[in-house]
Amino acid sequence: MTDKKNNDPFWWTLFGAGGTISAFFIPIHVILLGIAIPLGWAAAPDYEALIELVRHPLARIYLFALISLSLFHWAHRFRFTLYDGLQLKHLEQYIVVLCYGSAIVGSVIAAYLAFSI
Amino acid sequence: MAEMHQKASGTKTETNPRYERYRPKRHDPGMSIFWWIRKWPYVRFISRELTSILVAVYAILLIVQLSALSRGEQAWQALLDWFATPYSIGLHVVILLCVLFHSITWFNLAPTAMVVKIGKKRIPGTAIVAMNYLMWIFLSGAVAWIVLSV
């Protein structure tokens, strides 16, 4: 046994939650706002109505969770892809800071936007 | 081979000066960063891991959407105009394909990560996968209905 504290279960939980929420919800967002509405298959929602929708407490929580957990999902998976795929185990500290650090910064921005809008 | 063996030979032992411990010093070139490219299951594995990049890209695009919404109607309209360009539609098609790959591989692996029991009976993996797909359809429908009916 080593004394080194292992944070992996914590990051893994965020990874798992992010993988699930992104798997369920990102495809429909991409289809609606990225493809169907721009191509005119569906009418764009009215700005005022949309902002009212986003201001609903559940919508704020939903958007924050979707963005933040998706970022942590990426951070964890990308970290290990860099290790295994690119054989960069020796750069572990930098990769950890880069991956989880970006996810934390993104989450703070998402929290600010989602709760101040 | 003989030459390599000579170079590789290590220290002499004390009890028998003629005996040399065999300590090969092989050159270890390490693994190529493209180790995964020769076998289809490895390519699928790496592709699946790389879908996470597109998940992150879309998380950033969601931040962009929130930011545009918060800056007012003009900023939102400008974003919608950009979304209507072929570049954006192409990007979203790529994101969609990768995210669908992510969703499908994620749901198919769900029974491996999650053991659900009723009483003492374990629910079969196919049932868990089927429930995930039904949930996916239901939740996608709900989001589409909410966004398009406002």
Q: Concatenated DSSP letters for A7-44?
A: -HHHHHHHHHHHHHHHHHHHHHHIIIIIIITTTTSSPP
User: Residues 6 or more apart from B42 whose CB is under 8 A from it?
Assistant: B35, B36
Helix ranges restricted to H, B16-72: 40-71
Confidence of residue B11 (pLDDT cuts 50, 70, 90): low
According to the model, what pLDDT value does residue B24 have? 67
| Average pLDDT of the residues of chain A | 91
A/B interface, count of CB pairs below 8 Å: 162
Instruction: Kindly state the average pLDDT of the residues B6-14.
Output: 54
Q: Is B81 on the interface with A (CB under 8 A)?
A: no
Instruction: Kindly state the average pLDDT of the residues A50-57.
Output: 96
Residue B117 is classified by DSSP as E
Q: Tell me, what's the ipTM?
A: 0.92
Write out pLDDT tens, residues B37-87: 888 888 888 889 999 999 999 999 999 999 999 999 999 999 999 999 999
Q: Report how far residue A113's alpha carbon sits from residue A64's, in angstroms, rounded to the nearest whole number.
A: 9
What residues of chain B lie within 8 A of the CB of A29, using their CB? 58, 62, 143
Structure pTM? 0.83
- Token pair of A31, please? 């289809």
Give CA separation, A49 vs A40, A67, B41, B66, in Å.
19, 22, 47, 14
According to the model, what pLDDT value does residue A67 have? 98
